[in-house]
Chain A
C-alpha cells in the first residue's frame, strides 16, 4: 500500500477538484428541491449544455473559456427558466410521477438534441482548451495546473456570491422563505412563481458552471452528464435533502472519498464505494448530514 504523504496529498487535491464540481451540481439540485420540492433528473444534461456552449464560444469565437463560462451560465440559466415555465409549471400540483417522467423525457430530448449538434463539430469527446492548459505552479509539495487553481477559485467565488444572495438580499430572503414554507410565503405576498423561476434559473446556471469547469479539466460528451448528476443526487441525500450547506459539504466529501477509493481499491470501485458511504451515512443519520432548507 502506498502511504507516501506527497502522493496522498495529490490524491486529496484530485478529490477536492472533482468534489467541487459535485458541489456545484448538488447545490443547484438542493436549491431546486428546497424551493419547488422538484427532482430534475435532466440536471446532468443542463450541465453538458453548459459545457458545450463554453466549448463553442472558446473554440469557435476565441473567447477566453473563463469569460465564456459566464455567458454559458446566463444562457443555460434562461433555458432553465424556460423549462420551468413551459414544462414543469403546467403539471405543477398534479401527481409527482408526472414531474419524474417529464424530467426523464427531458434527459432524452436534451441529450439527443445535443448529440445532433455535437457530432458535426467533433467525434465523441471534446475538451475546452484554456490558455493556461500547460502551465503549472508549485503548491507546497506538489505541482498544480493553473486551471485547477482557477477552477477552485471560481467555484468558491460563486458559492460566496450565492451565499450573499441568499442571506443578504430581498430575493434571497423570499427564496429561503418559500423553501421553508411555500404557503406562508404566498400569504406574505411573495410571488412564489417568480421564486420558482429564479430557483430553476440559478440551479441551471450552476449546472452550466459545473459542466464548463468539468469540460476544462476532463473530456466530455453529450452523454457525459448522467453519471455526475446521479452522484449529485447522492450528494444531496448525503448532505440532507434541500440543504445547500449539506450539498457543499457532501459534494466535497463525496469527491474526496471517491478519489481515495479509486486510488486504493481501483477504478472498478470508483462509483460503488461512494455509494457505500452514502448508505452508511443514511444508516446513522437518515436525514443526511444536515437537515435543512435552502
Chain B
C-alpha cells in the first residue's frame, strides 16, 4: 500500500528530526561549568603554576564530589572542569593563553595567576569579551588604575588577593610596634629596602611610605634599591646598604630572590642579625621550599604572611588550614604554597558566584561577584566574610608576621607568629 508506506516513511523522517532536535537541544545545554585557570605552567614561574594547578584540581574534585554547582536557570547541578591557559611567565604568553581560554575553551570565568604583569597583559581581552576575572596574588594595579578602563566599580575584575599597598602598610606597623623599641627606642628607625623592580615591589614600598607618612611613624627610609626580575646577584647593592648602617633591611622579591637576598646579605656582605633586623619578607615566599632553602642563617628573620606553611594561628579564622593542608599533602605528597591556597579559594569563590547568579551568563556572574558574600575559605579575611569592596573589588585579608627559628629536630626553619598581639604565640626576639 503506497499510502501506508508514505505514512511510514514520513513517520521515520519525523522521528529522526525529533531525535536530531532533541540531541541538538541537549548539545546546546551546557553540561559543565568551565573555569579558565590563567597561570604560568612554563617559564621561570612554572612551579607556581604547578602549585595552583594542583590546588585547583583538589577544589574541583571536592566540589564535584559534593554533586557540583546548582545552576537555577538550567535546573541542574553542573560539574566543574578547568581549562588551563599557560601564560609562559610572559606578557605575550598571557595574551595567547587568555585568547585560548575565551575563544577556544569558552570558559565561563577566568582566574588565577601570579603577578600583575601577565594578568594586565590579558586584561584588554578580558574586557573586550566581558569575562568575569578573579586574579590571585598580584598588585592592586588591576583594580586601582582608572586609566586601564572603565570605573573599577563597574569592572569585571574581582581581585581575590591584592598585594603590595596593604602589605607595605602592615610592614610599617609591625616595625614600629615590635622592632623599633628593641633597635631604636630613642630615635627614628632607619629602614632600607631592596626590592624587585616591578609593580609588585614598587607597590610594597609605596604602601610602606604612605603608611609612615599617614601615621607619622618615626621611620627614616635610608635606601630604596631596586633589582631586575630574574637578577640573582645583589651583593653590590647590599654592600651599599650596609654602609648606610640601617636598623632594618626589608628584602622584597619572589621566593628564590628572597632566599638569595638574605643569604648574600648575611653570609657575603656581613649583615649582622644582632644589629640589623632582616625582614619582613613577602608572604609570597611562604612555601615549603623557602624554609628548606634558607637554612640556619634565616634564624630571627621575619616573614609577613596571610597563610603559613607550617604555623596555624589560634582561632576560628584559621580552622580550615589543617584539613586543607592534609588533603593537599595526601593527594600530592607535598605541602601547598600560598599561591596554591589562593587558587583553591578562588575556585570556591567562582562556584559560589555562579550559584548565586543561577546562570552561566557572564554578565550575571559579574553581577553576582559584585554582590558576593560568603564565609571565608582557607585564607583569613577581615570580618570572616569574603566580599569584594564596591570601590576597588578587592578582598581585605588578615595579615600577620612570623619569626623564623631553627628546629634541630627537622633541621629546617620553623615559624612562630609574633604579630599582631591577638594571635601572637611569642614576642619578637632580637638575637644577642
Residue ranges of A at the interface with B (Cβ–Cβ < 8 Å): 2, 4, 7, 10-11, 14-15, 18, 112, 115, 119, 122-125, 127, 133-134, 136, 143, 145, 148, 217-221, 223-224, 227, 259-260, 262-263, 266-268, 270-271
Residues of A near B219 (CB, < 8 A) are none
Q: B67: CB under 8 A from chain A? A: no
Chain B binding surface SS class: helix
Which residues of chain B come closer than 8 Å to A223, judged between CB atoms? 43-44, 230
- Does the CB pair A125–B259 fall under 8 Å? yes
A270 to B225, CA, bound (A): 12
Q: Is the CB of B236 within 8 A of A125?
A: no
Verify A134–B297 contact, CB threshold 8 A.
yes
Q: Is B73 an interface position by the 8 A CB rule?
A: no
Give every chain A residue within 8 A of B51 (Cβ-Cβ).
123
**B267 on the A face (CB < 8 A):** yes
Looking at the complex, which of B16-24, B147-155, B237-245, B298-306 is the stretch in contact with chain A?
B237-245
Nearest Cβ in chain B — how far from A23, in angstroms?
15
Chain A: CB-nearest residue to B288: A123
Assess A124 versus B48: contact at CB under 8 Å? Given A219-B260, A266-B237, A267-B228: yes
A residues less than 8 Å from B48 (CB atoms): 123-124
What number of residue pairs across chains A and B have CB atoms under 8 A from each other? 109
Closest A-B pairs by Cβ, 4 of them: A123-B47, A125-B256, A262-B236, A267-B227
Verify if B254 is at the interface (C-beta below 8 Å from A): yes
Question: Residues of B contacting A133 with CB < 8 Å?
Answer: 267
A145's contact among B44, B268, B289, by CB below 8 Å, is which? B268
- From A11, A15, A259, A262, name the one whose CB has the most chain B CB atoms within 10 angstroms: A262
- Select which of B44, B244, B268, B296 is within 8 A of A221 by beta carbon: B44
Chain A hits for B230, CB < 8 A:
221, 223-224, 227
Given known A-B contacts A119-B47, A143-B270, A267 and B225 have beta carbons under 8 A apart = yes
Pairwise interchain contact B233-A136, C-beta atoms closer than 8 A: no
Q: How far is the CA of A220 from the CA of B230 in the complex (A)?
A: 9
CB neighbors of A among B64-83 (8 A):
none
For residues 331 through 390 of chain B, which have their beta carbon under 8 Å from a beta carbon of chain A? 337
Nearest Cβ on chain B to A50's Cβ, whole angstroms = 16
CB-CB contacts below 8 Å: B214-270 with A: 225-228, 230-237, 239-240, 242-244, 254-257, 259-260, 267-270
**Are the CB atoms of A124 and B232 closer together than 8 Å?**
no
Chain A contacts for B243, CB-based, 8 A: 2, 4, 7
In the complex, residue of chain A having the shortest beta-carbon distance to the beta carbon of B293: A127
Asked if A123 and B255 sit within 8 Å, CB to CB, the answer is: yes
Contact of B267 among A124, A136, A268 (CB under 8 A): A136
**Complex CA distance for A115 and B45, rounded to whole angstroms:** 11
Given A7-B243, A145-B267, A227-B230: 17 more A-B contacts, CB < 8 Å: A10-B269, A14-B239, A15-B236, A119-B47, A119-B50, A123-B51, A124-B254, A124-B255, A125-B260, A217-B233, A218-B232, A220-B232, A223-B44, A263-B239, A266-B226, A267-B225, A267-B231
